Structure 1
Amino acid sequence: MIRSEAEFVALPTNPERIEGFFLVNEGNMGSNKCTVDHFDFRTGGYLRNIYPERNPDVVKELGDVGNDIAIHDGRLYVVVNCSNMVEVMDVYTARHIGSVDIPNCRYIVFDGDRAYVSSYAGPVQIDPNARPGKVVEIDTRTLRITRETVVGYQPEEMVVVNGRLYVANSGGYRFPNYDRRVSVVDLGTFEVVNTIDVAINLHRMEKDRYGRIYVSSRGDYYGTGSDIFVIDAATEQVVGNLGIPASEMCMDDDLLYTISTEWNYTTGKNEVSYAVYDTAADERRPGNFITDGSEKKIALPYGLAVNPETKEIFVCDATDYVTPGYLYCFSPEGKLQWKVRTGDIPAHIVFSEYEFY
């Protein structure tokens, strides 16, 4: 049996609601090294690679490239991209409950007792003739696929607003002919009822409390840079852009936190930036949300999350993509509190209201 590794990195606290979080490490493609870590706010303990210890009979463990993680109704969901499945666990114990086979699956969202998973619906390869992707609906009570609908090319993140599912299409496999549309799916009929022209190579999505949807464009890595575009959900029209590059976004109350690690083939390097946008005031806050200069220690910012209770900010460092990364915890004021070694390519965090044992 492979044992998890424990490390105490913070002082114990007494949270009112958020007991801890799970972090999925993607693992380099083809390495079969997707792992899940857990942090407990009550003890300050960080557990690395909990899945094989809790599931010694599961062959190949979690699989190849963990692309998303979520919690719904006492279950923990991990979308494992190149293993073509969504793994479902008990959130209290991380023990295997079941899995759902979905080809080249990407991200997951929920509405009631249904889960929605975006899928490239084809092999992992650059192909100018790559087929359109799809969204798969899962009954979370039975873990059975109930409906599917075709969307744009290589769909990524999604949000649900007023009974409609908004899907960011990238078209990444069809380079240089990227997709630039958001598909709008009516959850009643499960049909695409609208497409919104936004910008090329769409990726991340967040929504605010004012009926706006924020969708990031990765650009083309040459002359067209990354940006965040704003959609009014009531009119389903693009109403502006923020002028902020983003490879990761995280909404906490009215604040949209972003990090950007923007590769440019012309310059041959990454441009790294950190920003906060106030969605209530419709303005970017000045400066960097890391205020003590410790961002200089982060080699490759890759994942981002904000604790909704304490407002602590978490930044994942993928280092070089092939060796263990690090997780940095910052105070709400942007001061480094602690860091810990993770698995390879730490990327996605979900906060849990459930006690883990």
Structure 2
Amino acid sequence: VKELGDVGNDLEIYGNKLYAVINCSHFVEVMDVETAKHITQISIPNCRYLAFYKGYAYVSSYAGPVQIDPNARLGYVAKVDTASLAVIDTCIVGFQPEEMVISGNKLYVANSGGYRVPNYDNTVSVIDLETFTEIKKIEVAINLHRMEIDKNGYIYVSSRGDYYDIPSKTLMIDSRTDKVVREIENLPNSEMALCGDSLYVYSTEWSYHTNRNTITYAIYDTQKEDIVTRNFIKDGTEKDIVIPYGVAINPETREFFVTDAKNYVTPGKLHCYSKEGVRKWSVTTGDIPAHFAFTRKKLKPIQ
């Protein structure tokens, strides 16, 4: 286990490099993908998530300190040259930007406004990647977070709601028109992962009314436009998971992985499931396991 810093928030592979966003330490750690050896760190304040396109990394940033602040400033997206590993430009977006997806020559950014509670942001910023300027904002729902895009250009966006009376939900944007085309009924969403036409969605929905989480595991078929199961774990072992905190699907085997953050302060668990939803194995991890990156490269042993 490599000590990286405070709060790993995203993990992605691009080319021969592994990028880890270390949120509360305000940098992106860049490593060799085969050895996980340090290459450099890219300083970006309160950095959140990564996206890649044509030799550039795009990093969302809250652009300010890690604290609740009704006067928190607008966030931005940093553009990083993956050859020089330097920030070469920034683009102002909404408040506390989170995940991003790319469609054609447009970068979509989910703005949360999470630091400005109860005055959440409710927009997705659209950035033209040629000019690297924000060209529009799409009103979607409050407190946006996760994003996925399917092969037909539909973008799935999660809203965390307000934890009181406005529930979490999943919405769809058509990237051809940049319009919200659907709210998927009764699909709360803490995180999602797309494999083929199957959108795996789990929700750990907190309510301040009840002071507890409601946990669900669903698969939404993006072609049929329907929820095909309300529990993708089929052997009852979801009862062993205290706080689901990450999901990923192996694109070749269709095995899927779910992490458990437990109580957030002690080592968590990583569970591997067959494509049929039966647990194959589990392993203890570090604290709050959350993010995955798959590679076909042969990894070298840690020296």
Residue 93 of structure 1 corresponds to which residue in structure 2?
A: 35
Aligned to 2:297: 354
Query: 2:229 — aligned with what?
Result: 286
Q: Is residue 266 of structure 2 the alignment partner of residue 326 of structure 1?
A: no
Moved over 3 A (4+): none
Provide, for residues 146-179 of structure 1, a one-character-per-residue CA deviation record: whole Å limited to 9, x for no partner.
Answer: 1101000000000010110000000000000000
Question: Hey, what's the Cα distance between the residues in 1 that align with 2:211 and 2:148?
Answer: 30
Partner SS, residue 215 of structure 1? strand
Residues 1:164 and 2:135 are matched in the alignment: no
**Equivalence for 1:38:** none
Partner SS for 1:347: coil
Q: Within 5 Å, which residues of 2 pair with 1:21-170? A: 49=1, 51=2, 61-170=3-112
Identify which of 125, 140, 145 aligns with 1:183.
125
User: In the aligned structure 2, how far is the partner of 1:136 from the partner of 1:353?
Assistant: 28
Any conservation in 1 of the 2:216–2:230 contact (CA below 8 Å)? no
| 1:255 partnered with 2:205 | no
Segments of 5+ residues of structure 2 without an aligned counterpart are: none
Partner secondary structure for residue 295 of structure 1: helix
2:149 to 195, 198, 207: 207
- Report the TM-score when normalising by structure 1: 0.83
> Deviations along 1:13-58, whole A, 9 cap, x unmatched?
xxxxxxxxxxxxxxxxxxxxxxxxxxxxxxxxxxxx1x2xxxxxxx
Instruction: Give the structure 2 partner of residue 339 of structure 1.
Output: 282
TM-score normalised by the chain length of structure 2: 0.98
Q: Supply the AA of the counterpart residue of 2:141.
A: A
Distance 1:77 1:325 in 2: 22
Shift of 1:353: 1.4
Shift of 1:242: 1.1
Q: Displacement of 1:287 after TM fit?
A: 3.3
For 1:151 and 1:343, the matched residues in 2 are separated by: 33
2:220·2:229 contact (CA, 8 Å) conserved in 1? no
Secondary structure of 2:151's aligned partner? coil
Q: Distance in 2 between matches of 1:149 and 1:318?
A: 33
1:82 partner SS? helix
Work out the percentage of aligned pairs sharing the same amino acid: 57
Aligned-residue offset at 1:241: 1.1
Higher relative contact order (CA 8 A, sep 6+): 1
Deviation at 1:286, TM superposition (A): 2.8
1:96 and 1:292 map into 2 onto residues whose CA distance is: 40
Q: Distance in 2 between matches of 1:81 and 1:126?
A: 15
Deviations 1:248-277 (A, max 9, x none): 100001110011000000011000000000
Number of equivalent positions: 299
Structure 1 residue 354, shift from structure 2 partner: 1.1
* C-alpha distance in 1 between matches for 2:33 and 2:108: 27
* One-letter identity of the residue aligned with 2:146: R
* 2:106 is aligned with 1:173: no
CA RMSD of aligned residues (A): 0.6
Query: 2-side partners of 1:312 and 1:266: how far apart?
Result: 36
CA distance in 1, matches of 2:50, 2:219: 25
Q: Which SS does the other structure have where 1:325 is aligned?
A: strand
1:299 corresponds to which of 242, 252, 264: 242
Structure 2 residue matching 1:346: 3-state secondary structure: coil
Cα distance in 2 for partners of 1:282, 1:133 equals 33
Look up the match of 1:218. 160
Q: Deviation of residue 110 (structure 1)?
A: 0.1
Give unpaired runs (5+ residues) of structure 1: 1-48, 52-60
